[in-house]
Amino acid sequence: MSLARKLRYGFMKDVGAPLVMGLAGVKSRSKNIRKPDPLFGPPLKCAERLKEIMTRHYFLSRYAEGAKPVAWVTSGAPVELLRAFDFYTIYPENHGALCGAQKLGPELCAVAEEKGYHQDLCSYARIDLGVCFSGKTPVGRLPKPDLLFASNNICQTVMYWYRVLSHKWKIPLLVFDTPFNFGQISRSEINYMVMQFEEMIPVLERISGKRLDQKAFENVMRLGKESAMAWGEILAAMKTVPSPMTIFDAFVHLAPIVSLRGLPVTLDYYNILLSELKDRISKGIGAIINERKRLMWDNIAIWYKVRDFSRLFAEKGMNFVAATYTNAWAETISYMDETRPMESLAKAYSLVILNNNLDHRLNLMERLIDEYHVDGLVIHSARSCKPYSVGQYDLKRLLMERKGIPSVVIEADITDYRAYSEEQTRTRLEAFFEALEGGS
Residues 46-86 have pLDDT tens digits of 999 999 999 999 999 999 999 999 999 999 999 999 999 99
Q: Helices (DSSP H) in 237-263: which residue ranges?
A: 247-253, 255-259
Instruction: Kindly tell me if the per-residue pLDDT of 1 is higher than 80.
Output: no
Closest residue by Cα to residue 81 from 310, 287, 315, 348 = 348
Are the C-beta atoms of residues 117 and 129 closer than 8 Å to each other?
Answer: yes
Q: Is 259 within 8 Å of 216 (Cβ atoms)?
A: no
pLDDT attached to residue 402 = 95
**Residues of the chain by 3-state class (helix, strand, coil), percent to 5:** 60, 10, 30
Edge to edge, the sheet with strand 407-412 lists 318-323, 293-298, 376-382, 407-412
* Segment 278-308, tens digit of pLDDT: 999 999 999 999 999 999 999 999 999 999 9
Question: Going along 259-386, which residue ranges are E strands?
Answer: 293-298, 318-323, 376-382
pLDDT on residue 34:
59
Nearest CA among 153, 141, 84 for reference residue 352 = 153
**Mean pLDDT value of segment 24-38:** 63
Domain ranges of the chain: 3-438
Mean pLDDT for all residues in the chain: 94
- pLDDT at residue 27 greater than cutoff 80: no
Residue 31 has pLDDT above 60, yes or no: no
- CA-to-CA separations, 99 to 77, 140, 249, 329, 398, in angstroms, rounded: 21, 12, 17, 22, 35
Asked if 5 contacts 63 with a C-beta cutoff of 8 angstroms, the reply is yes
Residue 33 — pLDDT band, cuts 50, 70, 90?
Answer: low
Whether the bond into 406 is cis, omega within 30 of 0: no
**Do the beta carbons of residue 165 and residue 148 sit within 8 Å?**
yes
| Per-residue pLDDT at 439 exceeds 60 | no
Other C-beta atoms lying within 10 Å of the C-beta of residue 315: 12
Decide if pLDDT at 29 tops 60.
Answer: no
